[in-house]
A and B are shown apart, each in its own frame.
Chain A
């Protein structure tokens, strides 16, 4: 439960909601507690009324007395209604403060979580899958909210109601109170027990549901293999087994779920019966009135929910504390890549674009294989660097070191002679335009996706970037031009269009360093040629790094690196590398052949 203490500052922050909220909870409980007393007085007054009424029977006073009794009883009814109104008003105010406060805390907590997520480097996201982080940001925060809002509200109300009711009951008859309360602790314990089991079993049910879903998904994705090997029947039987397991989990849950009503029924019913039994005995002895019995019956009804809620609250706290622990796992992860006042040189405000790698080694895990080994090169500002190599050669890893998405395990990456770790992150990244290999666009308009790279860009600049990325013509044909939505809510872009949007997004920043990580793989050669022609205007003015599996894209680079299994195996210019007749030359000849075949 210790982790929940982390939430205490929030209670303080919203004390202006919590303190009146708790007062309202107390008031609403107290007013609700007054009603049974009124009922008792009404019931007890009846025999008196009846006796008087009989006494004046036949006299002229009778109609007057009837009117008096009518008003008297109406008064009791009115008081009950009034108490109900008052209690209702405070219940309303209680929910409007306490539950609302919990929504505010949820809001703050989620903002804090998202802000923290933004500071965490890619290595974090490799460890925590998207779905996992998403669950924490949604359902775990919701669990925590239930603790700060509803749980506290129910607990307060329950305590006040119980104290008030028990006091009132004790004043009437300690003996009857004792009997009436006998089943109550059992009710709370029963509710806690059932709630606990229900949660455990619904988790198991959810897990089985996920298994069932992934079984279907897998079978349908591999339908060709299934059909080829005529394993349909076996797979269907396996699916039957998963469905059967799901049915069993469901019934496991149903078995505990079916305990809810009996528990409430038995325990509150038992209390009522005890009231009638013991109360009847006491009434016969003259120790209490029959009105007291009615009063106790209402107390029992009033106490049912508060007592039960003690069980619910306990179970809520249990879950909230587990959720808080999961949230703390994220909050307590310190971003590895960040500005460090002791190390960062804040005097660096500008970047020219001179990139140097000095004996850089990199691997993802401490005892894993090297992904990059002993990479060294020097690229002057305004130079053009081409990187080629097979899939998995380490090309992407190499360029990710430049914007400090990852950091070298050994060696140094320098820009303008500064270790990149000394350059303020925002300065470094602002100077870089990056078009990644796996294009990621947001479900927003085309314009917004391009301007993602430059918040203040006007339409003219967006158009210019789109033009340079050879996207302008396409956009003109979109239903709403630049205002067309992409992704689920809008049109589906082709792979090439996505890549070109990503290139425009990088170009619009007018970056000192432009990195295209295999960003032209999905466009045809003709389009590639046009984009390269546009890029050429920047050669010499900006540092450009082009990663490609196609030689044609890197042909004109000042320096070409050929990567294989994490090492630089060849380096030089296009002409020089062709002369060497190595891997580069082979790749080049293959490409020419491919072109030729296409023409056939």
Chain B
């Protein structure tokens, strides 16, 4: 699989990539065929008009045939209207097809990313993933919409124009075509120069933007260190380099348009000269001459378009390579073929000699950097386990493993007697609820953040849960209540309020097992009481594992696990552990004593 993505060097026009991309158009093949027909018809009708003009002049105007002229004029108008209509249909249809395919690819890429394990997210910057879903997909847009159809259309247009010219007067056609290499050379030269120059302009623009971005963000530092004059001088320099690059680009454009005009006028001059001489023999009529004058003008358009298409293909290839590279690697955790069926969990949890590291296991036999070492504990149904320890002791890792964000390297984690790897991920996580200390609010309403977009949760249930938790008071005080947008400017939910929201979220989902990561930051006494009552409501009748930062939690826990550097150092109830006067006592004094004092 991998050789597809890591094939040698720069993305040229890799045929395999092209076919794979074309595969995304296959569902719309009927429409693609239609678009192709319209583009062909359009390519034919355009060159037909000068021909009709020639007929009008030679057969009707010169002959003085008024009726005939009117008929041909009607025909011309008809052709023009049909051509315009086809052009509209064709432009829109190709976009329609392309955007369908883009939609398919984009949603596929997104689903693929979302399925990946957390290990994948640990090592891949989110920014890069966003680029895949947005920019890279976008770069395929031109190719999948207009791309192929337009290339064919332009090629055929050139063929049709040439055919009409040859049919009218082959010698004159040859003379006109003689200018074509000149035209192509001019276009190619211009493309090359402008591409080089654009690269330079883009570079300068990027420098300019980077400077501005940096200095706007760091303006305070500039001002504090009296650097205004010096930074202005440097900005002028960068701004000037940008100006020079732009002015150089102006040069090429200034040269290009007159050059194109010159080539086209050369063709016109040649047509007049050679055509005039042909007229002397009586082999050439005025109408033909006038038709040729128009063909000379029509010819340029498709040539210029075609030269654009190569660049378009190239950037599409680069995007496609990155996208397929992502799609071809799958690190999603393996799901069991026959998962354990669960209606409800009893809530029995056991860690059995668990060893874990976030890094890949070293292959050279070196001892890995274990985050958990030989951790074992059991939580009976309905029991509450509190975990305490300094930062980096491995508390959060226990949560990550229980919810199977990662798989353990040694040992086993059992829920109701079954290994977590024997459950379908969905089932496992549906029945084990997580409440994190850094409450992450998604943009959307308060309600969205509670239901997390599950429409099957009735509104009454949300209100009921909010009431039980005691969050109803502040929610109803918000300008739009449950329908308040949480990201709206000026609205900031306090830390305590966010916590309460995440409790409501957990209660609404009603899991049998709760995993809580308590917040460390202090809240005022009123909120603290609210949270304490909410916790009682939430924990009642559920098995719970709590990373404890609050005094009442450790006081009420059935069992406390004291973690230090990845190991379980002490275990027991609050009173037992305090009596032992070991690690727990120190932790208690550090993390909980102040709470005990202020409560007193």
The interface of chain A, by Cβ under 8 A from chain B, is 35, 39, 42-43, 45-47, 49-50, 53, 66, 69-70, 73-74, 76-78, 80-81, 83-85, 87-89, 91-92, 94-96, 99-100, 103-104, 106-107, 110-111, 114-115, 117-122, 125, 130, 133-134, 137-138, 209, 212-232, 234-240, 243-244, 247, 250-251, 254-255, 257-262, 265-266, 269-270, 272-273, 276-277, 279-281, 283-284, 290, 293-294, 297-298, 301, 390, 403, 405, 426, 429-430, 432, 434, 436, 440, 442-443, 452-453, 455, 505, 509, 586, 590, 593-594, 596-598, 600
Contact = CB atoms under 8 A, between A and B. Distances in A.
B525 interface: no
A18 to B, nearest CB: 15
Given A88-B258, A243-B106, A284-B61, A39 B272 contact: yes
B260 to A, nearest CB: 9
A50 B434 contact: no
Contact of A269 (B80, B253, B262, B293): B80
A424 to B, nearest CB: 11
B110 A216 contact: yes
B236 interface: yes
A266 B505 CA distance: 60
A99 B88 CA distance: 33
Interface string B217-257: 11111111111101110011001101100110011011101
Nearest to A78: B269
Contact of B212 (A107, A138, A284): A138
B361 interface: no
B217 A234 contact: no
Nearest to A403: B224
B167 interface: no
A261 B81 CA distance: 12
Interface string B570-600: 0000000000000100110110001000000
B208 to A, nearest CB: 8
Interface string B274-310: 0011011010001001100110010000000000000
B92 A255 contact: yes
A273 B73 CA distance: 7
Contacts, number: 367
Interface size class of chain B, counting residues whose CB lies under 8 Å from the partner chain? 35 or more
29 contacts: A39-B272, A46-B289, A81-B265, A92-B258, A96-B254, A111-B235, A115-B232, A134-B209, A134-B216, A213-B134, A217-B126, A220-B130, A222-B440, A225-B452, A227-B429, A229-B433, A235-B114, A239-B107, A258-B92, A258-B95, A266-B84, A269-B84, A276-B56, A290-B62, A297-B293, A443-B214, A452-B225, A455-B230, A509-B225
A99 B252 CA distance: 12
Contacts of A280: 56-57, 60-61, 69
B contact patch SS: helix
A151 B102 CA distance: 35
Interface of B: 49, 53, 56-57, 60-62, 64, 66, 69-70, 73, 76-77, 80-81, 83-85, 87-88, 91-92, 95-96, 99-100, 102-103, 106-107, 110-111, 113-115, 118, 121, 126, 129-130, 133-134, 205, 208-210, 212-228, 230-232, 235-236, 239-240, 242-243, 246-247, 250-251, 253-255, 257-259, 261-262, 265-266, 268-270, 272-273, 276-277, 279-280, 282, 286, 289-290, 293-294, 297, 390, 403, 405, 425-426, 429-430, 433-434, 436, 440, 442-443, 452-454, 505, 509, 522, 564, 583, 586-587, 589-590, 594
Nearest to B404: A227
A35 B69 contact: no
A185 B218 CA distance: 52
Contact of A74 (B258, B273, B594): B273
The listed residue with most A CB atoms (<10 A of its CB), out of B66, B85, B87, B232, is: B87
A254 B69 CA distance: 38
B107 A243 contact: yes
A231 B452 contact: yes
A436 B221 CA distance: 9
A479 to B, nearest CB: 22
The listed residue with most A CB atoms (<10 A of its CB), out of B106, B111, B209, B227, is: B106
A46 B289 CA distance: 11
Given A78-B269, A213-B130, A440 B80 contact: no
B61 A283 contact: yes
